Structure 1
Amino acid sequence: VPFPSPRPRAWRATMLLFQLPDDVFYHILSYLDCRSLSRLSQVCKSFYRFVNRDAVWRKIAKEGLNTGITRDGTDRYPHIPLKERVKIAQNWCDGICKKAVPLKWKTKLLPWLQLDGDGEILFLSQAANIEAYYLRQDPGKLQSNPFKIYSANNGDVCHFVLTDSHLISGRSDGKILIHSRTSDMLVELSGHNQEVNCLDSKDGLIISGSRDRTVRIWTLTSSCPKETISMYDRVWSVAISPTLSSFVTGTACCNNFSPLRIWDVERLQCVCCLGSEFRRGAGVLDMVFESPFQLLSCGYDTFIRLWDLRLSPRKCVMEWEEPHDSTLYCIQTDGNHLIASGSSYYGVVRLWDKRQTECLQFFQLSSDSVSSPVYCLRFNSSHLYAALATSLHSLDFRQNPIYIR
């Protein structure tokens, strides 16, 4: 009887790996990059099942762009496997996407848009109406017709926000309309005498800002403003802190006052001004709280600024300049490393990695002969949508990188 040959070394190594406790195996895999993990998953079915677990990819996902893992560890897209999100994150970083124009219209508008919490419904303002579309699985496409239209006889929509139960819009005639998302109920709030350029709402609290140089505080249960704050300039943007204890106003900066101010919700007093070296006309057009202590702002002075509200005095800790000296109309963040911005010329969308000072990627959405600002942009895990004067554009980042399968 011939002497049995020894077991192949690779086979014995595989068996020994699987004899390790899961936490030890996870620790070993934490040293591998995307390419190595992908190759390891092709060794056998057991490796494939283990490597595809979210826990294996979580460390890589936290370092990626728009993977849904925020700085505090919150997962925005728990229904999507992390490996799939890491694939798409590489495309965001490399600028690999497919462009499409899901909607066009003839009249030039100032559209605004929002995505619902799960990123499956897109809300787009069209003159006096707000249309709701289901997002299809086909790249960059919407359902052919809106499944719901929130209409009114009031002025055109300047800005609107979504809550879980309501859609709240500011109008060009100075009114605020509150539509229920579950019924046909409509509430009209009157108080401003010029267009409502901006508003924000959280937990029943509504803050609105207007061209009439006032900020008004409302609640969902009252038809009259709770309080009114007189400002020195037109108000272009407002944002409520996640803690609901304060809000920030951004003005046109035409009267040599700082355009960014923090206000206490209860006392209605200005807590502080952010920055002191803004030039005249450096109005703030958009801002977003990334956490209770971090605020991002952008506007006419072509900079995106990150403000740390924990410092004393509160100050700008990072800034990114638009390379072509264009006004920045809108920004959005993934809560971690990615910022997307919309510029005033040629429909330029830029992607920024906050760990770098230079622009990461840019996309020109309008032609050289027809220039339009990006009035609003929003993104989910795989798509970015941008609203221009006569069209809605989409960027689909679901193309497969060659080294992640």
Structure 2
Amino acid sequence: MFSLLGLPEEILLLIFSYLDSQALGRLSQVCRKLCHFAGKDTVWRRIARRCVNSGFTQQGTDTVSGISVKERVKVSQNWRKGRCRRETLLKWKCNLMPWIQLDGERLYISQAKDIRAYQLRSDNNGLHRQPVAIFSAHQDDVCRFVLTNSHIISGGGDGKIGLHKVHSSGSLQFSAHDQDVNCIDCQGGVIVSGSRDRTAKVWSLSLGRLGQCLHTIQTDDRVWSIAISPLLSSFVTGTACCRHVSPLRIWNLESGQLMTCLGTDFHRGAGVLDVFYETPFTLLSCGYDTYIRYWDLRTSTRKCVMEWEEPHDSALYCMQSDGNYMIASGSSYYGVVRLWDKRVKNCLHFYSLPSPTSSPVYSIRFNTKCLYAALASALHVLDFTSTDLQIRS
């Protein structure tokens, strides 16, 4: 008589990979051996790639380690249904415009002139109250900062760029712009920065040329956001849209020459506050015109391929993508965070985070378990792994 358990392991795993989550759940209740096979990562990979925020990119690359794919699929259902536990992690007295970054088990947040690193708690996805490190290099507030493997690179209101060693106390700074450094990015040994002084600049991060300006680009408009292409061949700037030029322009990283403009129908004042590449050929932008736009450089630079509108006509200050289907955005009023699925037009869920005044969401970052949002006077977390969940529809 034919026995399913008599099949080779690789054949069993191939068969199981075509089952849905309900069938796998029932199969795992048959016996211990089938339960063992039904829980393997290879079986759940196909299901996970269709889920929101499961740690898989559009290309199928798994970006998460240490958490089983099956567990990530379970938590993904909480993201899709809007089930989470809310908590305020940090509060401060003065209103700020904080920026945050996540790096493994640490969360970095700008607090006025400093950048503070906090260790994430493994038991409840909160923070240890005392920072494990404080990085200082500016005389004015930090506007934006990015992380590399070894450094934190920050731009400040003093017009300077700061370089901080992540694993030591060493920091240095150099004058970069005549006004605030509103945005900054770093990849492949190159820094790009944008400023209120209507310039974008390219800097060397290599030894012997550290802090040397390679190109100065006159954008004729205030630069609010900037991002380097993963191919390291170009970078995009998002400007205030106060001139008769597109607020989204792509520049050659090596020569500093303009390559192309994105879009043709932006309204005056529709500045781009956040922009980033998802892949070498696709990028997302958002800003004052209340839209998230998805651009595919392989199809057209004149019109985005998809767009999602903030339903309450609020400017969008920040956003992040899971690299696949989910986008999270932060609005300019009432601390509103929205979750979006690229496959549908309307947002999945929204959360209004508490604040003494109507605060924008200045920065958001998430992993497969939690979303962290920085408002003017507090840092909040939405924990989607908790068993004591609230449903927000």
Q: State the TM-score, normalized to the length of structure 1.
A: 0.92
* CA distance in 1: counterparts of 2:231 and 2:303, whole angstroms: 20
Inter-partner Cα distance in structure 2 for 1:238 and 1:341: 17
1:184 aligns with 2:169: yes
Which of 271, 274, 281 is equivalent to 1:293?
Answer: 281
150, 154, 170: which one aligns with 2:139 = 154
1:214 to 164, 178, 199: 199
Correspondence for 1:316: 304
**Conserved? CA contact 2:264–2:302, under 8 Å:** no
In 1, the alpha carbon distance for the partners of 2:325 and 2:66 equals 21
The one-letter amino acid of 1:247's match is: F
Name the larger-Rg structure.
1
Partner Cα distance (1:154, 1:88) in 2 = 42
Percent identity between the two aligned chains: 57
Counterpart of 1:111 (choices 82, 86, 98) is 98
Distance 2:274 2:58 in 1: 22
Question: Separation in 2 of the partners of 1:312 and 1:360?
Answer: 28
- Which of 233, 239, 242 is residue 245 of structure 1 equivalent to? 233
| Aligned residue number for residue 303 of structure 1 | 291
Which of 255, 258, 266 does residue 270 from structure 1 map onto? 258
Between the aligned partners of 1:146 and 1:304, the Cα distance in structure 2 is: 34
Conservation of the 8 A alpha-carbon contact between 1:165 and 1:181: yes
Give, in whole Å, the separation in 2 of the partners of 1:152 and 1:289.
Answer: 28
1:165-188 deviations in Å (ceiling 9; x for gaps): 100110001011101113332221
The farther-off stretch of 16-25 and 67-76 is 16-25
CA RMSD of aligned residues (A): 1.6
Deviates more, 1:149-158 or 1:75-84: 149-158
Structure 2 counterparts to residues 1-400 of structure 1, below 5 A: 16-116=3-103, 118=104, 120-220=105-205, 221-313=209-301, 315-366=303-354, 370-399=357-386
Alpha-carbon separation, structure 2, partners of 1:181 and 1:386: 22
With 275-284 and 219-228 compared, the bigger mean Cα shift is at: 219-228
State the Cα distance separating 1:219 from its structure 2 match: 1.1
CA offset at residue 31 of structure 1?
3.6
- Is the CA contact (8 Å cut-off) linking 2:142 and 2:155 kept in structure 1? yes
Give the unaligned 5+ runs of structure 2.
none
Give the whole-Å Cα distance in 1 for the aligned partners of 2:39 and 2:176.
55
Aligned AA (1:166): H
**Corresponding letter in the other structure for 2:139:** N
Which structure 1 residue ranges, 5 or more long, are not aligned? 1-11
Quote the Cα distance in structure 1 between the aligned partners of 2:154 and 2:250: 23
Q: In 2, Cα distance between the equivalents of 1:313 and 1:255?
A: 19
Contact 1:101-1:140 at 8 Å conserved across structures? no
Greater shift, 22-31 or 265-274, is seen at 22-31
Contact between 2:28 and 2:34, CA under 8 Å: does it hold in 1? yes
- 1:341 offset after TM fit, Å? 0.4
Asked if 2 retains the 8 angstrom alpha-carbon contact of 1:190 and 1:224, the reply is: no
* Offset, 1:401: 11
Distance in 1 between residues matched to 2:48 and 2:138, nearest whole Å: 47
Aligned AA (1:176): I
Q: Does the 8 A contact of 1:102 with 1:140 survive in 2?
A: no
SS in 1 for 2:201: strand
| C-alpha separation in 1, matches of 2:148 and 2:385 | 28
> Quick one: distance in 1 between partners of 2:156 and 2:225?
14
Given that 1:30 and 1:56 are in contact with CA atoms closer than 8 Å, whether structure 2 keeps it comes out as yes
Residue 74 of structure 1: SS of its match in structure 2?
coil
1:153 CA displacement: 5.0
Q: Which SS does the other structure have where 1:35 is aligned?
A: helix
| Counterpart code for 2:321 | T
Maintained 8 Å contact 1:165/1:180 = yes
Number of equivalent positions: 386
CA contact (8 A) 1:140 1:383 kept: yes
Q: 4+ runs of 1 displaced by more than 3 Å?
A: 312-315, 399-402
Distance apart, 1:140 and its partner CA: 4.2
Amino acid at match of 1:203: G
